[in-house]
Structure formats: structure tokens, C-alpha cells
């Protein structure tokens, strides 16, 4: 039996020029927020920077702004229990990271900028975050961190 543990993860919300940076998985045909597990000994900011470098290129710099959301991701049947922190931030690149492939997934995942007004029409996971994110964006992400619970 495998060890049961909770994995902290960062998910990055980066918006520039009316577009949001997302990862696309070609094998499953959906979008998701860039990020991954926080490694032992890392701060949240260090985890965000490492994930951006891994997924967008080594010279990409991340600027932390605030924690927007906290989400439980619990799938016992997959031996998965994660606590996801959705972090608003910025990066110092735009066009040059369009289509950058994530080396970890053999070219099946890549980064892409998506128009915010197209989000409701796309399969973005978690699906139930899109409307909340758009409303919060329109309100300049004012207010406190929101606990999303186990949204799909």
C-alpha cells in the first residue's frame, strides 16, 4: 500500500493584455493552470519561480502578487490528495512563451495565452473556477483569499 500524504501545489494565475496563461494537454484536450507540487524546503514564491522556469523557460521571472484561492483536490481512488494554492502573479515575458512545450510531458503539454472572454467556452480545469476568476478579475482581484473547497 502506498503512503498517504497531502501534496501542496501552486497553480499560477498570470494575466497580461486581456489574456491568461494556461497549459494545454493535447492527449486529453483540456486547459489547466500552470503549476505543480511544492518541493520540500521551498517557499511558495520559490515553487512559483521554479514552476515558471520549468514550464516557460529558464530565464522567465515570476513576480508574486497574492494568493487568490485555496482548493481541495481529493481523489482517493487515484491515491491523490492535494491542497492547491492559486497564486496571482506576473511574468516578464509574453509572445516568446506562446507554445513553449513542457519537457516533463514529452511535448503533450504546452503553454498558451487565452483571451479572457473565451474562457467560458473552453474546457479549463477545474471547470467551476472560470466564472469566479472572471468575476474577480473584473473586480481587480480585490478582497481576501477564497476557499473553493472541492470544486470540479
End-to-end CA distance of the chain: 27
7-116: CATH superfamily: Nucleoside Triphosphate Pyrophosphohydrolase (3.90.79.10)
Per-domain residue ranges for the chain?
A: 7-116
**What values do phi and psi take at 60, rounded to 5?**
-85, 130
Tens digit of each residue's pLDDT (9 = 90 or more) over 97-143: 999 988 778 888 999 999 999 999 999 999 999 999 999 999 999 99
Judged against a pLDDT cut of 60, whether residue 4 lies above it is answered with yes
What pLDDT is stored for residue 48 in this prediction?
Answer: 98
CB-based contacts of 17, cutoff 8 Å, min separation 6: 94, 113
What pLDDT is stored for residue 3 in this prediction?
Answer: 77
The angle formed by the CA atoms of residues 4, 8 and 9, to the nearest 5 degrees, is 125
Extract the C-alpha cell encoding 33.
493552470
For cell 501545489, the residue is: 9
Mean pLDDT of 22-33: 95
What pLDDT is stored for residue 81 in this prediction?
Answer: 95
What pLDDT is stored for residue 2 in this prediction?
Answer: 61
Tens digit of each residue's pLDDT (9 = 90 or more) over 47-76: 999 999 999 988 999 999 999 999 999 999
With contact defined as beta carbons under 8 Å apart, do 83 and 69 qualify? Answer: no
Mean pLDDT of 11-18: 97
Judged against a pLDDT cut of 90, whether residue 6 lies above it is answered with yes
What pLDDT is stored for residue 133 in this prediction?
Answer: 97
Tens digit of each residue's pLDDT (9 = 90 or more) over 29-44: 999 999 999 999 999 9
- What does the alpha-carbon distance between residue 76 and residue 56 come to, in Å, rounded to a whole number? 31
Amino acid at each position: 500500500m502506498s503512503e498517504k500524504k497531502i501534496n501542496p501545489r501552486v497553480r499560477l494565475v498570470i494575466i497580461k493584455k486581456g489574456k491568461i496563461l494556461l497549459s494545454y494537454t493535447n492527449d486529453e484536450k483540456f486547459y489547466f493552470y500552470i503549476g505543480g507540487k511544492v518541493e520540500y524546503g521551498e517557499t511558495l514564491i520559490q515553487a512559483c519561480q521554479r514552476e515558471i522556469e520549468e514550464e516557460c523557460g529558464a530565464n522567465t521571472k515570476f513576480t508574486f502578487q497574492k494568493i487568490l484561492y485555496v482548493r481541495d483536490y481529493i481523489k482517493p481512488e487515484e491515491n491523490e490528495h492535494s491542497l492547491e494554492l492559486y497564486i496571482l502573479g506576473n511574468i516578464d515575458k509574453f509572445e516568446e512563451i506562446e507554445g513553449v512545450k513542457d519537457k516533463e510531458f514529452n511535448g503533450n503539454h504546452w503553454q498558451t495565452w487565452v483571451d479572457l472572454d473565451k474562457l467560458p467556452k473552453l474546457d479549463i480545469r477545474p471547470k467551476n473556477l472560470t466564472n469566479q476568476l472572471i468575476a474577480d478579475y473584473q473586480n481587480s482581484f480585490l478582497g481576501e483569499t477564497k476557499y473553493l473547497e472541492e470544486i470540479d
